[in-house]
Structure 1
C-alpha cells in the first residue's frame, strides 16, 4: 500500500476561522501567535492536539486553535485534561489558564495535576488582575493594589505561580513574557516536548485593567537591569552592560557587581536538571525590585508520569482478570432486591 504524504502545516493552519475577541493590544494575541508557530515547528497533527481551558480571558484560547478543544468549568481545566490524557495517551494536551482561574478557584486542581506529573502542558497567562470580570484583584496582584474589589488596597500576600509549581515538584517549570516573542516561542516549544507535566508562566499585559504591570520587565530602557535570562550551566549575569550577577551568600542570593574582585566563577551557576528543587525554588523567590526576575527554564527533570502508570495498572488488571463485565460488577458483592 502506497504511503500518503501529509501536508506540511504552517502557523496559519493551526488558527481557526473564529474572530479573535480580545481587547486590542492585549498580550494574549502574542501568546496565541507564538503557540501557532510552535505547533507548526513541532508538526503535530491538529487532530492529535487538544486545548482545554477554564474561565477567563485566556480561556477563549481553544476557540482560536484549529485543533480539538474544550472550554470547561472555572478552575477545573486540569481535571478535564487529566481525564483526556489518561484515556487518550496518544493526544497532546494543553491547559490554558489564568492567574485567577488556576490559582484561586482552581488552585486545588492545578496543584494535584502538577504533583501527579500528568503529561500535560499548562500555560498560565499572568496579568495580575481579573480581566474578564472587569478589574478585580487576583491571587497574584501585588500588596496595596487598588482595584474595584480592593478600594483601599489589597492586603493579600500575592502568590508566586512558579513557587507553587516547584513546591509541588513539577518536572518542568519556566517563565516568559508576552512581548519577548522569540524567548516565548522557544520556551513553549521546550515545554511541549517535555515528557511529563510542563508549567509555563507568561507575564501578560492587560492593557485595559492593569496596563504596565510588567513595564519594569518590558521597557527597553530598564528591562536589562530587572530581568535575568537564565540558561542551564551558565552563570547568572544580567544588566545593560552585563556587569551584574547573582551569587549565594550562605543560603541567600545577593546582587553583586562584576569586577572589583568578583568574577563569573564567584556567581551562582544555573542547573535546571538538579534533582532537588532547592535552586529552582530559590530562583522563583527572586522578585523585583530587590532582584532581577528570572525568565527561562527553572527546572527540567524526568520522573514517572501519572497517565503512564495508570494505563500500566489498567493493562495489568486486564491481563490478570480479563476485560471485565459491567453487568457482572453491578450485580456482585452486597446487593439486595427491593420488593
Structure 2
C-alpha cells in the first residue's frame, strides 16, 4: 500500500465557505498565499489544523479545507498548545490579529513563544480593531484618532517583533500582504522551522484604517521604506541599491554607497546567530528614520516544549507504567457524598 501523499494544489485547501471579509481587505491575499504554500509543505490536510481567536483574521479557519477551530478572544495559543502537546504529529497554526494577540491575549502569546511549542503564529497587523468597527489597537500609533480615541491615542504602541524577540522567539519574520511572492516564501520558511515560528504581516484594513502601510507598499516609495533581509548579505536598500545600514557604535545609521563607503562597511544580516541582539536592533528600525526590515529576523534551534513534555511522559510511563485515572481517584483519603 502506498504511503505517498496525493499531489495537492491550492484549490484543494479552499473550503466551500463563502469568504466574509470586506472587498479589498488584505486578508484575501494572505489566505491565497497560505493555500499556495500548503501543498509545498507536504502535510496532509487531515494533519493540519488552524486555530484562531476573535477578530476579522480569526475567520481564517473557515476558509481552509483542513481541521480548524474558531476559539475565544486571545486564547488561541492555549488551545493550540494543548493540541500540539496531545497530537505532536499535527501541523498546528495560530491565526490572530494585533488586538486578539497583543491585548487580551498578550499573556498567552508571550508564554507560547517562550516555551517554543512547535507551532506557527501568523499575526495580521492592521493597527486597528476591524471586527468591532474601528477602535484603536495595541499597535495603533500615538495620536491615532479612532472611535475610541476621538482626541488621539495616548498609549505607546507595542512592536510585535520586539515583543516576540524579547520572549526569545526562535523564529521571527515579517512580510506584507501585497508582497505576495515574499509572503509565500516567509510562510514556507515558518512552516519548516522546528519550534514556535512567529510571522507578523502588515495587512491593510481598507474600511477602518486604509493606507496604514502605504509607505511600505507604494510602488514609488517601498524601495526606500523597506529593506529585504537576506541571511549573510549586507543591509542594502533603495531603488538603485545605493543605500545601506551600518553601525555607528551600537546605533544603526543610514549611509550612501559609493562615497567612500563599500558593502563591506555595512551591517551583515545573520539570522542564525544565537544572540538575539541583532534581531532586536532590526525590529526597532522604524519608518521614517529607517527602512523597515522584512523577511526572517531570527531562525535558531532550541529545545521544543511539546517534544520535551512527551519525552517526560514517556519516561514516566517507562518507570511507573501506564496511568490509571480511576485508581488515582480512589487513592489516599476519599469522601463519599450522599
Q: If the length of structure 2 is used for normalisation, what is the TM-score?
A: 0.98
> 1:102 and 2:104 equivalent?
no
Instruction: Tell me the CA shift for residue 7 of structure 1.
Output: 2.5
Contact 2:226 2:293 in 1 (8 A): yes
Q: Which residue of 2 is the match for residue 63 of structure 1?
A: 62
Matches within 5 A, 1:76-225: 76-225=75-224
Q: Deviating runs (4+, > 6 A) in structure 1? A: none
Three-state SS of the structure 1 residue aligned to 2:128 is coil
Three-state SS of the structure 1 residue aligned to 2:224 is helix
Q: State how far apart, in whole Å, the 2-side matches of 1:3 and 1:193 are.
A: 24
Q: Which residue of 2 is the match for residue 232 of structure 1?
A: 231
Q: State how far apart, in whole Å, the 1-side matches of 2:73 and 2:155 are.
A: 21
Q: If the length of structure 1 is used for normalisation, what is the TM-score?
A: 0.98
Offset from partner CA, 1:110-146 (integer Å, 9 cap, x none): 0000000000100000000000000000000000000
Instruction: Tell me the CA shift for residue 166 of structure 1.
Output: 0.3
Instruction: Tell me the CA shift for residue 3 of structure 1.
Output: 2.5
Offset from partner CA, 1:16-75 (integer Å, 9 cap, x none): 000000000000000000000000112221000000000000000000000000000100
> 1:72 and 2:66 equivalent?
no
Matches within 5 A, 1:10-49: 10-49=9-48
Q: Which residue of 2 is the match for residue 312 of structure 1?
A: 311
Instruction: Tell me the CA shift for residue 260 of structure 1.
Output: 1.2
Q: State how far apart, in whole Å, the 1-side matches of 2:196 and 2:332 are.
A: 38
Instruction: Tell me the CA shift for residue 106 of structure 1.
Output: 0.2
Q: State how far apart, in whole Å, the 2-side matches of 1:43 and 1:338 are.
A: 54
Q: State how far apart, in whole Å, the 2-side matches of 1:26 and 1:275 are.
A: 37
Contact 2:5 2:42 in 1 (8 A): no
Contact 2:47 2:89 in 1 (8 A): yes
Three-state SS of the structure 2 residue aligned to 1:314 is helix
RMSD value, Cα? 1.0
Q: Which residue of 1 is the match for residue 281 of structure 2?
A: 282
Three-state SS of the structure 2 residue aligned to 1:282 is helix
Three-state SS of the structure 1 residue aligned to 2:230 is coil
Three-state SS of the structure 2 residue aligned to 1:19 is coil
Q: State how far apart, in whole Å, the 1-side matches of 2:153 and 2:258 are.
A: 41
Instruction: Tell me the CA shift for residue 241 of structure 1.
Output: 1.3
Instruction: Tell me the CA shift for residue 4 of structure 1.
Output: 6.0
Q: State how far apart, in whole Å, the 2-side matches of 1:337 and 1:24 are.
A: 61
Instruction: Tell me the CA shift for residue 295 of structure 1.
Output: 0.0
Q: Which residue of 2 is the match for residue 330 of structure 1?
A: 329
